[in-house]
Structures are given as structure tokens and as C-alpha cells.
Amino acid sequence: MFRPRVIPVLLLKDRALVKSIKFKDHKYIGDPLNATRIFNEQKADELIILDIEASANGRTIPLDLVEDVGEEARMPFAVGGGIRSLDDIEAIIKAGAEKVVINSQAGVSPEFVRSASETFGSTSIVVCMDVESKFLQGGRVRVANGSATCYKPESYAQLMEENGAGELIVQCIERDGTMNGYDVKLIRSVSKAVGIPVVALGGAGSLNDLIEAYRVGHASALAAGSLFVYQSKRRGVLINYPEKADLRF
């Protein structure tokens, strides 16, 4: 029986694991390698690791850290942060990642996504869409650490699909870290606009939120940060992952 993938997302800042709220107020959580070991033990489906300072600092995620995660991880993992060139992608894949996550550079140069997919295969190329929903005319995609673009989420998703992206991560900025549920309307709208897998991200606070994003939002996979690093909405740090028996979709 089909079950959507359930994916912890780890955010890195200064090589440490952190968690944000609406892309701000970063809280130190712990060591990313220790978190990887725990997710191994709990048999997570996949892992996404994003270096949130890489683009602003003009670098990629540290390759030695990717190698360390690759040595620890027994699940597929994707890595993002500061990717601007085919050489960056090659180095990250050689370091052990199965997929790369492209964010800012996809918005700046959609043709880069095409080059990447043609070179490494579309299954290796994931585009992350950060969406701000407060615009009167509908949501807008933001890139380069928050700069607004002219793209609506649906048209941006279609553009990325046309350029060869194999998967899309759709994240609502206003929901990030709130644990108040995904923007299911956004997830559903993007999922209906494209034929490639859509990964929901931003706002999950319970297993019911995962179920809603899958059943109502038609997401192909469910990703979360706070849900898997906090014990509850009181935000006591506890790296966790649901039992397979509890993942009934």
C-alpha cells in the first residue's frame, strides 16, 4: 500500500542544528550528526539538510559535513545551501548526497535547473520554493534569503518542472516553525499545477497535519522541522520520528 514519504528537515547555522520561526529567531537544537544517528535508529524515510547561511556567505554547505552525514545516514538524504554551479552539485553528490536542493539560484536563473537536470538527472534535482502568502494578489515566491519575485507559486512550480526539476519543496514562510499546520491550500494549488512530486514543508505540528497535507493538499511527501526536533508545542528539544504503525494515511 502506498504511503507518502515523511521527511525530517535539519537546518544548519554555523554547522549547528537550529530551528527557526518564520525564517527568524533561530534556536540552537544540537549536533546534526547526532540527529542523523537518531533518525537512523528511528528509520526515517529520508532526510533533508539545509545550510541557511550558505547563500548569504557566498559558499555551499561544508563538504566535510556532507561526507560525515553520508557516513552516518542509512536513509537517502538531500542537501541544500549556496548551490550556484554544476561543480557545486557534483561535489555535493560525490560527498554522498543523493539529491541537491536548489533555492535562490533557481529563481535567479531557471536555466540552471535545466542544465543541472540534464547533467545529473532530474531525480537528483530538487527545487525549494519559499512562498509568502500575504500579497493581496496571491502568494509570491521569495529567493535570495527573502527577496520577492514576480512569480506566483503555481507558475513558478510549472517553470521549474519545465526546466527539469524532479521534485519541489513548497514552504510557506508564514507557517515556518509555528507548528500550526501546513498551508494546505497552497500545497494543493501547487500539486494540481504540476506533475512532479510536491513535498509539503512549513507548519506541521502533529501527525494530523501530515495526514491533511496528503489527503487534502495532495502532497507526495511530508517534510517538517519542528515536529521532529521538539517534544511538543512547548518546544522541549527531543529528536523524534513517528512509529511506522502511526503513519496511516
Residue 245 lies in a domain: no
The C-alpha atoms of residue 134 and residue 29 are separated, in whole angstroms, by: 29
**Average pLDDT, integer, range 177-183:** 95
Residue 64 lies in a domain: yes
Residue 248 lies in a domain: no
The C-alpha atoms of residue 5 and residue 46 are separated, in whole angstroms, by: 7
Residue 247 lies in a domain: no
Q: Which range has highest mean pLDDT (16-25, 53-62, 126-135, 186-195)? A: 186-195
Active site residues: 130
Domain count of the chain?
1
CATH number of the domain to which 19 belongs: 3.20.20.70
CA dihedral 42, 81, 166, 108 (to 10 degrees): 160
Residue 10 lies in a domain: yes
**Average pLDDT, integer, range 202-206:** 96
Residue 96 lies in a domain: yes
Residue 230 lies in a domain: yes
Q: Would you list the DSSP string of 99-145?
A: EEEE-HHHHH-HHHHHHHHHHH-GGGEEEEEEEE---TT--EEEETT
**Average pLDDT, integer, range 55-82:** 95
**Average pLDDT, integer, range 204-233:** 95
Query: What pLDDT sits at residue 144?
Result: 65
Q: Whole domain around residue 24: which residue ranges?
A: 5-240
Residue 249 lies in a domain: no
With a cut of 90, say whether residue 139 has pLDDT above it. no
